[in-house]
Amino acid sequence: MASLSEPSALQTDIDLAETIGEEDPGYRTVDQHLDICHAFLDLDEREQRIVALYYYGNLTQAEIGRQLGVSQMHISRLLQ
């Protein structure tokens, strides 16, 4: 059985351990998704509704403002 710290048979300047596996870019996506979920849950119910309408409902800030009875500028500030 070969040691993982032995030089690779293909390249003598790197260890065998360095040739096994690779970084999975999916982990970053999962981490970002969890960060967004936690941040979303920190918002109050009204703020969650605004974010959902804007990013998932594809409504404009003016349309959201009309639904909630506030100005487009107020929605813009809340989204910031």
Predicted local confidence at residue 24, as pLDDT: 86
**pLDDT for 31:** 95
pLDDT in the model for residue 63: 98
Instruction: Give the pTM.
Output: 0.63
List, as one string, the DSSP characters of 4-66. TTSBPSS-TTSBGGGGS----THHHHHHHHHHHHHHHHHS-HHHHHHHIIIIIS---HHHHHH
Which pLDDT score is estimated for 9?
Answer: 61
pLDDT of 41 = 96
| Sites in the chain below the pLDDT cut of 70 | 1-12
What integer pLDDT is reported at residue 43 of this predicted model? 95
Q: Dig out the tokens for 46 from the structure.
A: 């009204």
Q: 8: which 2 tokens?
A: 């690779």
